[in-house]
Amino acid sequence: MLWACILLPQLALDDVLRRRPGAGPLVLVAGTGPARSIVAANTAARVAGLRVGQRLSAAQALLAQFEALPYQPERADRWHRFLAAVAYRYSSDVSLLPHAIVLEVSHSLSLFGSWPRLESLLRADLDALGFRHRISAAPTAHAAYVLAGVSDGQAVLDDDHLRRALQRIPLRKSRLPTAAVDALPGMGIRTLGQLLNLPRDGLRRRFGSDLLLALDRLTGDAPAALAAYRPPDSFDLRIELQHEVEEIAALVFPLRRMTGDLAAYLAGRDGGVQRFVLRLEHREGHTDVMVGLLAPEREAGMLFELARGRLEQVRLPQPVVALRLIASVAARRRFRDQRCAACRTGAGGKCGDGRAHHHPVGQG
């Protein structure tokens, strides 16, 4: 098996920055009252000396002008699942881990040719969507997760090299149970290599079976035991505007971003949409703009142009404070070659006649 891990280190901040290109110093803040502190900071804020963990009051004393927005974990969770749906384009075996997505890609290589090729496609998707990321690959999901936390771009493609790669990982980056990671340095154990060489009976007596199970999942001696993620058949995205909008032209930028997100989601589902709703939210009520197509479509440019054309026909009864796009995924698109019998039964690899698949591997 070969697992890819996409680590997403700043989902909540990316959610804000992709809606505010060129923003000045900006931070996300959590907590209440005097205890409010910074949980994420963009590059401009970090250059000015603001840092994660800093009290908001201290940051305000250091820098006179910067934007502080509330940290919204529920929005980060929504984008986490959205990006898992995008990754579903490359594998039908996708799971969520904290701040990360893992996908089993061994069968996908028969379609995409090699791991570097598949990695470049994943990065292109994430760059286009505006999300920072690290990517790694390893024979187990948990090892790929650990490697991505250490550095970007690591690839261990076979079992023989896996244990060697794990040897030098510091315990603090091992994602092992916290109690063990805190206690082991006091015993002189600071790397995974040192830990893996210790007698298992002694580790079990000291730390219980959880540590051994975590080690076995790292090395592949135990199943990953991950819950499979399946994207829903509906897409619902809402963007709050920075200020009230009274002109349709001011909605073009968020509309382009939203239709691009919809296109990426549909590609992950190997589906299309034949109709969707743009909901223009006002302080009181909303205006729905229906967008219909003759056949299911998912090309970003086409979706944007059709939506913009419909939007330009609207007269705003009130200023717009938020924009929402609601769509249901249509049946599998008919724009690709029909699947062969082997594909329809879920076979991986190549089609029955030896040609590479023309659809996402494993999504039969």
Identify the helix (H) or strand (E) that includes residue 256. Answer: helix 252-269
Residue 347 has pLDDT above 80, yes or no: no
Cα(138)–Cα(163) distance, integer angstroms: 11
Cα(155)–Cα(141) distance, integer angstroms: 12
Percentage of the residues of the chain whose pLDDT score is greater than 70: 91
Residue 195 has pLDDT above 50, yes or no: yes
Cα torsion 91, 94, 100, 105: sign? negative
Give me 62's structure tokens. 């250091």
Structure confidence by residue, pLDDT tens digits, 299-336: 999 999 999 999 999 999 999 999 999 999 875 544 44
Residue 146 has pLDDT above 90, yes or no: yes
Structure confidence by residue, pLDDT tens digits, 75-122: 999 999 999 999 999 998 999 999 999 999 999 998 888 999 999 999
Burial of 178 per CB tally in 10 Å (0-12, 13-18, 19+):
exposed
Q: Would you tell me how many other CB atoms lie within 10 Å of the CB of residue 19?
A: 16
Identify the helix (H) or strand (E) that includes residue 38. Answer: strand 37-41
Residue 280 has pLDDT above 70, yes or no: yes
Q: What pLDDT is attached to residue 363?
A: 40
Q: What does pTM read for this prediction?
A: 0.84
- Mean pLDDT along residues 63-67: 93
CA 19 to chain centre: 17
Residue 364 has pLDDT above 60, yes or no: no
Structure confidence by residue, pLDDT tens digits, 7-54: 999 999 999 998 887 889 999 999 988 899 999 999 999 999 999 999
**Under a CB-based contact definition with an 8 Å cutoff, are residues 62 and 41 in contact?**
no
Confidence of residue 160 (pLDDT cuts 50, 70, 90): confident
Give me 120's structure tokens. 């470049």
Q: What pLDDT is attached to residue 342?
A: 35
Q: What pLDDT is attached to residue 331?
A: 57
Confidence of residue 228 (pLDDT cuts 50, 70, 90): very high
CATH class of 3-9+75-219: alpha beta
Collect all residues with Cβ–Cβ distance below 8 Å to 58 and sequence separation of at least 6. Answer: none
**Under a CB-based contact definition with an 8 Å cutoff, are residues 255 and 323 in contact?**
yes
In the chain, where are the structural domains located?
A: 3-9+75-219, 234-328
- Mean pLDDT along residues 278-300: 93
Cα(179)–Cα(210) distance, integer angstroms: 10
Q: What pLDDT is attached to residue 329?
A: 87
* Residue 276 φ then ψ, to 5°: -155, 165
Collect all residues with Cβ–Cβ distance below 8 Å to 259 and sequence separation of at least 6. Answer: 300, 303, 304, 307, 325
**Under a CB-based contact definition with an 8 Å cutoff, are residues 5 and 144 in contact?**
yes
The domain 234-328 is placed in CATH, from the list 1.10.3720.10, 3.10.310.30, 3.20.20.10, 3.30.1490.100, at: 3.30.1490.100
